[in-house]
């Protein structure tokens, strides 16, 4: 398995993807390179494991005669060891990690073998928000919340802010849909002392082709499901063909949830979306009751994609850890915020006092 890092041809420094320019920047000499220029370069490659002479999946025998596991054997069990191509240090990762940093020289490395074959992503949405912009956006997000404790946010209390590419499944489908419904129109009028009600019933049918694109589902077990869902939506028009270079300078996770595990959920979402679209074409009635729907997929397409997320770990002064996620393309923030109940009580009291004052003033002029 190749351990990849991209080197600057001018100074041999590490190249990382820069969201603000959508190019690759050398942190040492400041040179910028386009995707086409990066594709023409030959990335530096390191060996797969700490013992480069031992192939993945092989076993070695210890002094006691028992077989010992190598990194290849542990790939499905947890931590796996690789060699940094820049300094030769060991890099320890989870079995889903596809891009990381060396803990010693801090150079970015892409674990190329993690994204090969069936695990090669089809598409990627590159980061477009820099770390500085993400930090500022997080500040503004907290500043807009009225009931957050005034002393809650302090930049120094941010434990970590990390750019991570998370894996998702995308589902596109063309389908044939049919719907039978009953429409009702009700007319009420009076004649003298008598009230009349007329109800007309209509048989309503809708049929046609429906095209749904970019239905998405998280593909990483350890991801926080709520935060992963709240990162949506992304601008899928900015999605690009996958290139490993986009991962340089960021962390990346490989999927560990297969299509079969989410297929039922995605198809249910497909049916609900198609029914909603068919229902929205019915108008001109006081009320509508859907009797039956028939949704038949004609053409389906699944894509394995990586989406950019800034993850933020924040330690409050009381020691509690808060976790946040920010969409690395749009800046949308999701996460739990603490509540200052003294502020809530004060605002409620002031609102009640204001309402009472208005009532008294109104009564004075009556």
The encoded tokens of residue 337 equal 């915020």
Residue pLDDT, tens place only, 232-291: 899 999 999 999 899 988 999 999 999 999 999 999 999 999 999 999 999 999 999 999
Percent of the chain with pLDDT over 70: 76
Q: Give CA angle at 313 (312, 314), nearest 5°.
A: 115
The encoded tokens of residue 116 equal 């090969």
* Under 8 Å between Cβ of 255 and 222: no
Residue pLDDT, tens place only, 109-128: 888 778 888 889 999 999 99
pLDDT band at 75 (very low <50, low <70, confident <90, very high): very low
How far does CA 50 lie from the centroid of its chain? 32
pLDDT at 111: 81
64 has a pLDDT exceeding 70: no
DSSP states of 78-117: S-EEEE-TTT--EEEE-TTEEEEE-TTT--EEEEGGGGSG
First to last CA, the chain: 85
pLDDT at 345: 56
- Helices and strands in the chain: count of H runs, count of E runs: 6, 19
pLDDT band at 107 (very low <50, low <70, confident <90, very high): confident
CA distances from 144 to 136, 140, 150, 181 (A): 13, 6, 12, 45
Q: Which of 75, 102, 105, 107 is nearest to 91 (CA)?
A: 102
Q: Is 0.85 surpassed by the pTM of this model?
A: no
Of residues 343 and 332, more confidence is placed in 332
Q: How far apart are CA 78 and CA 57, in angstroms?
A: 14
């Amino acid at each position: 398995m190749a351990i990849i890092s991209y080197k600057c041809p001018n100074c041999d420094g590490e190249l990382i993807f820069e969201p603000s320019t959508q190019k690759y920047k050398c942190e040492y000499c400041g040179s910028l390179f386009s995707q086409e220029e990066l594709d023409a370069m030959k990335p530096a490659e390191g060996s797969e494991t700490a013992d480069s002479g031992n192939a993945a999946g092989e076993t070695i025998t210890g002094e006691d005669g028992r077989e010992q596991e190598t990194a290849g054997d542990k790939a499905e069990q947890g931590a796996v060891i690789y060699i940094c191509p820049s300094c030769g240090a060991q890099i320890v990762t989870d079995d889903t990690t596809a891009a990381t940093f060396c803990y010693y020289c801090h150079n970015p490395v892409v674990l190329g073998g993690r994204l090969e074959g069936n695990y090669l992503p089809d598409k990627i949405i590159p980061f477009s928000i820099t770390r500085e912009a993400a930090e500022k956006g997080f500040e503004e997000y907290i500043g807009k919340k009225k009931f957050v404790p005034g002393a809650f946010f302090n930049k120094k209390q941010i434990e970590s802010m990390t750019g991570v590419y998370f894996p998702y499944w995308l589902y596109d489908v063309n389908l044939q849909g049919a719907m039978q419904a009953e429409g009702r129109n009700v007319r009420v009028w009076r004649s003298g002392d008598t009230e009349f009600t007329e109800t007309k019933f209509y048989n309503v049918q809708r049929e046609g082709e429906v095209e749904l694109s970019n239905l998405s589902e998280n593909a990483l077990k350890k991801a926080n499901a709520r935060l992963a869902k709240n990162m949506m939506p992304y601008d899928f028009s900015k999605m690009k063909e996958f290139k490993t270079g986009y991962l340089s300078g960021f962390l990346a996770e490989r999927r560990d949830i297969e299509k079969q595990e989410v297929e039922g959920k995605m198809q249910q979402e497909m049916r609900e979306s198609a029914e909603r679209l068919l229902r929205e074409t019915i108008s001109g009635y006081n009320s509508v009751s859907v009797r039956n729907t028939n949704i038949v997929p004609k053409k389906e397409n699944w894509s394995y994609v990586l989406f950019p997320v800034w993850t933020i770990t924040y330690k409050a002064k009381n020691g509690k850890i808060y976790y946040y996620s920010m969409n690395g393309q749009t800046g949308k923030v999701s996460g739990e915020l603490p509540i200052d109940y003294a502020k809530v009580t004060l605002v409620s009291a002031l609102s009640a006092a204001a309402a009472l004052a208005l009532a008294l003033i109104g009564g004075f002029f009556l």
